[in-house]
A and B are shown apart, each in its own frame.
Chain A
């Protein structure tokens, strides 16, 4: 297996002086290409913080972070924005979609924002992804009118739009009922199996975690298992 990303001795502190909180305390982790891993740990253990750093949305206080052979700690905002666009997909728990846009418009966003317009090829891929997510009837639906489960499936489709190597999902099913959660997880598993996309999914749900081949447990700011 080849390593997709590597972080080592990650430290992240918030605030200074009295109010300083050390969330990550020298965390090291390697993810290989094609992995499907669950990120577990008690509330406040730093799962979201880790995902945010891995997603280049935030820089660590110290430590190393490299992906696809690129040092992401040193990179500037412009470079990180482009890197994110091309190589990383996100699925969040809340606030996932742009409410004033249709399902399809949301899905093609990562491509359109890079090229500068919604190309026919992008729209074609967007439709295919939505169809694959079982949303062919909702392609041109305003995203604000979708159900929670449908929204998360649109978010998964969008995360895959630019064929990223890594998809980071922070409690993607945290808001969903069991059936919807399972549907979303099945789709993720299918993409992971068919396309080799690496997934890292944070969850509090043992059942969801059980669907992943690897479980990473965070505690006290380091990986404990």
Chain B
């Protein structure tokens, strides 16, 4: 109905200020919709990258073997081999698994590690620390150590140790100093402090230390194998599926990060729900705004509607004229709101560079197409009531002869 479109456009352009205001109102609603989408999306991204970005997405830990029990034929327990205080459980064949895991789609980094606990001594001061032995060259595979360095280098080598700023402050350590690290296995090593990092994570900054895999081997008396394999994925959300795959492939107990992260998932879910709620309100506001403006317009144009009906315009034609106005307003408001939203999001840092203290707006999660589509649909729905009112106008009373 080209002609109805012409009349609808003319009605909209006839009262430019009014139409502009209406479109602006719709645009503001769309703007809020897009802003909320970008904020909720960005926030989720931010929270995930903060909490999960630096941790392993799929982790394989050595299974602690149950103590072996020697049972006599008559059911008496003859002997129990007590699990030693020292860690003996290892992923003995780790070396063969690493290249295999690396071939799994979605895996971007694999880090075989030896982890344990120990005491760090500097003069009279002692601190209890966790020790992670990393493969030189893969120091930043999981936790981006390199990116968090404040002094020295993350590069691990024989006789070197890297630790957090809080710990360094606690023990008044400076780069280049030598420290004594005694492992829980009772092995001691003298190490040179070669790097200090600050991750912003209190635990890691205060009690984690990193040494090379070979240093850890000595410390924990583990001539071969590792105690833990950490795996990083391209897509956080693929952790469950990828863990299953790795389990099937290697037979090892690969655990996705989502295990035990129910609270985080719930929080993110609640946040998304809040987003839907607010976005729905933005849409409802648009619908009410368009409906009331068009209803007013049908009332104001009653005489004209009467004339059109008298001249042979059917009810369908009248409905089309008003629904088209609604659709046009929705389209214009949707497009300008989306453009406005995009422009407003431009100054925010990109998702890779979110900073603490600023809103983590993600311009790529503005849902622009969805916002425009829903707005046009909403505006069309909003115009149905006024359009029907217009179609019911009685030409006789409207013309008022």
Contact = CB atoms under 8 A, between A and B. Distances in A.
A116 B401 contact: no
B304 A99 contact: yes
A170 B314 contact: no
Interface stretch (A27-35, A52-60, A193-201): A52-60
B307 A96 contact: yes
A82 interface: yes
Contacts of B11: 100
Interface stretch (B193-201, B262-270, B392-400): B392-400
B191 to A, nearest CB: 85
Given A57-B395, A57-B396, A98 B310 contact: no
Contact of B312 (A51, A81, A95): A81
Contact of B396 (A52, A82, A94): A52
Contact of A116 (B3, B14, B308, B309): B3
Given A48-B401, A93-B401, A113 B311 contact: yes
Nearest to B305: A98
Interface residues on B, range: 20 to 34
A81 B105 CA distance: 67
Contacts of B337: none
A112 interface: yes
A117 interface: yes
A84 B401 contact: no
A121 to B, nearest CB: 15
Contacts, number: 77
B296 to A, nearest CB: 16
A112 B3 contact: yes
A146 B6 CA distance: 22
A52 B401 contact: yes
Contacts of A57: 309-310, 395-396
B311 A158 contact: yes
Interface of B: 1-3, 6, 10-11, 14, 303-304, 306-315, 317, 395-396, 399-401
Given A84-B312, A118-B6, 19 more contacts: A57-B396, A58-B396, A77-B314, A81-B309, A84-B310, A84-B311, A92-B399, A94-B400, A95-B306, A95-B399, A98-B307, A100-B10, A100-B14, A109-B311, A113-B3, A113-B311, A113-B313, A118-B3, A158-B311
17 contacts: A52-B401, A57-B396, A78-B314, A82-B314, A84-B312, A85-B312, A92-B307, A92-B401, A95-B306, A95-B399, A110-B311, A110-B312, A114-B312, A116-B2, A117-B2, A118-B3, A158-B311
